[in-house]
Chain A
Amino acid sequence: MVFLSLSRWIRSRGPDRYWRVQEVLKHARHFRGRKNRCFRLAVRSVRRAFVFATKARKAKKRIMRTLWISRIAAATREHGMKYPALIHNLLKCQVALNRKVLSDLAITEPRTFKSLASLAKRRREEGFLVALGDKGEPEGIFSRIVHSQ
């Protein structure tokens, strides 16, 4: 007597489920807890992780800029000035350095940054002289604007 119908009741649901599950789990392997092993929990966590990564690409630019600004502010305060004064006066001296470069200079090239801060300070004082003093030819050297052709 041979039992034939038993084997017909076992269905193979398809050979590819393992690979489809692994595709999701491979992005969850560095997570904490059961969501790095169990597919049900991993699916939700992986989707959230991707959403956060997408949103963070825009936020990273904002975060980096605030970091640079706080670093430049700290460095200028060491030289007795404030960040808005530095930026505005460097702009008036036509020094077109962006915040990334300024923060890198403040960290790796402290003397260059000191000279930039003193340039901005001098330009500020000349601005005050022009504003408060009598109207005439400004005496300042740094107030003269260079026109590029």
Chain B
Amino acid sequence: MTSRGTPSRFLKSVLQNGVGRYVCQLKRLSLVFSKDSANSLGVREFIEDGVVDFARQNPGIVVYVAPEKCSIPKIVAEYLNGTVKEEPVNRKTSEEIRQLIKKLSVQSGLEVIRIRKPFHTDSPSIQGQWHPFVNRSPSLRVQRFVKEKSKLESS
């Protein structure tokens, strides 16, 4: 729980998403649940009510529904930058699962860790970053060479 001991990153967006067109970063959503056990009741209800609407509203997300024998039901979210996020939805209600899926669809695939600064610029300085000669007179750059006339006259 120290800042050096836990991972951290700078604020960034995936390929400046949103500057032009916004591309939904979630590419695949797999709902893994069991057909019979009581802990996937919420998932089954969600699949009855909301999955089809969600899939229609987000045409960019591929939704897989996988009924298999599993001890706990989970939702696997895969993002365009390769991150895979698994969320257990054990004994959750249909409404909670809906909120969770909404949250996952809005996230980008960047890790949810401490962000060092809440701002980021590619061009932090417009007038030019300060260096030790900014506020000094440009006469420091001038070097005067004096012709040595006395040597020529003597020789």
Q: Which residues of A contact B3 (CB under 8 A)?
A: 53
What is the CA–CA distance of A107 and B135 in the complex, to the nearest angstrom?
A: 12
Q: Closest approach, in angstroms, between the C-beta of B124 and any C-beta of chain A? A: 5
Known contacts A106-B130, A107-B130, A110-B135: does B125 contact A30 (CB below 8 Å)?
no
B5 touches A27 (CB 8 A): yes
Inter-chain contact total with CB atoms closer than 8 Å: 38
Name the contact of B127 in the complex, choosing from A29, A52, A108 (C-beta under 8 A). Answer: A108
Interface size range of chain B in the complex: 10 to 19
Interface size range of chain A in the complex: 10 to 19
B127 touches A109 (CB 8 A): yes
**Is A129 located at the chain interface by the 8 A CB criterion?**
no
Closest to B130 in A: A110
Contact with A along B96-108 (1 / 0, CB 8 A): 0000000000000
Q: Which residues of A contact B19 (CB under 8 A)?
A: none
What is the CA–CA distance of A49 and B129 in the complex, to the nearest angstrom?
A: 37
Contact with B along A93-116 (1 / 0, CB 8 A): 000000000000011111110100
**Is B142 located at the chain interface by the 8 A CB criterion?**
no
What is the CA–CA distance of A107 and B130 in the complex, to the nearest angstrom?
A: 5
A50 touches B1 (CB 8 A): yes
Q: Closest approach, in angstroms, between the C-beta of A24 and any C-beta of chain B? A: 12
What is the CA–CA distance of A111 and B127 in the complex, to the nearest angstrom?
A: 7
In B120-155, which residues have CB < 8 Å from any A CB?
124-130, 134-135
Name the contact of A79 in the complex, choosing from B1, B127, B135 (C-beta under 8 A). Answer: B135
Give chain B's interface secondary structure class. loop
B127 touches A49 (CB 8 A): no
Q: Which residues of A contact B16 (CB under 8 A)?
A: none
A109 touches B126 (CB 8 A): yes
**Is B57 located at the chain interface by the 8 A CB criterion?**
no
Closest to A109 in B: B127
What is the CA–CA distance of A31 and B69 in the complex, to the nearest angstrom?
A: 43
Q: Closest approach, in angstroms, between the C-beta of A18 and any C-beta of chain B? A: 20
Closest to B2 in A: A53
What is the CA–CA distance of A123 and B14 in the complex, to the nearest angstrom?
A: 47
Known contacts A78-B135, A114-B135: does B130 contact A108 (CB below 8 Å)?
yes
A108 touches B135 (CB 8 A): no
The interface of chain B, by Cβ under 8 A from chain A, is 1-5, 124-130, 134-135
Other CB < 8 Å A-B pairs besides A27-B1, A49-B2, A107-B125, 4 of them?
A: A52-B2, A109-B126, A111-B127, A112-B127
14 contacts between A and B (CB under 8 A): A29-B5, A49-B2, A50-B2, A52-B2, A53-B1, A53-B2, A75-B130, A78-B135, A106-B130, A107-B125, A108-B126, A108-B129, A110-B127, A111-B127
